[in-house]
Structure 1
Amino acid sequence: MIVEVVGGADERPEVRVVDVDDLTGVYLALGAVTDEEADQALRDAGLGRLEDAQTGVLEVAALRATAEPQAGGGDWAQRWDGVVTEAADGGRLVDDGAGLQVRVESAAGA
């Protein structure tokens, strides 16, 4: 699953959740936006925040609420729970389990 922050209409960054059925990894992809713009866009969307240039924190409940309606598989909720459990076991849950720490990458084509 990818949370993208890319340039949107009127130079305002846009946040999109894509590839929701691919739960082999969850990461944040930034397009042609500054770190400050990305952080503000994530906060405005209620999906998380940017910690630094390499790390973001995504809100677990908000991400699920956004992604699940787009999901194609009947077992998506179970697989998502597995992602969250694996993150907890790996020490990647923050904010008392409400946030999922993810890596930041460059958005394709940005």
Structure 2
Amino acid sequence: MNITVNITEQTEDQVRVAIAGEIDAFTAPKLREKLDPISTKDPITLIADLSQVNYMDSTGIGVFVGLFKGIKANGGHLQLVGLSDRLKRLFDITGLADIMDINPEVKGGVE
């Protein structure tokens, strides 16, 4: 079980990260460690590309909920892009798809 988190694009007010691997109880702390510093910037748009994530459990959902709350509290925006049908369903079942910005396309971005 491993995970990689790479910043693929960064401007003053927008950061795009590519996440690959599995997000579970073992890898979630590493993901949180990489993303939390980004979430404290005022205000930031974080675009998280999940197209290479092949598994996520409730621990991963918790990471994104915390990230969403932190970014929103600072006046920013979180967008999740590139979700597989399985990941999209996970966010739908939990009701998070109704409050988070989820775009099945990889491009994403806030105009």
TM-score where L is the length of structure 1: 0.36
Q: TM-score, structure 2 length as denominator?
A: 0.36
Greater relative CO (CA pairs within 8 A, separation 6+): 1
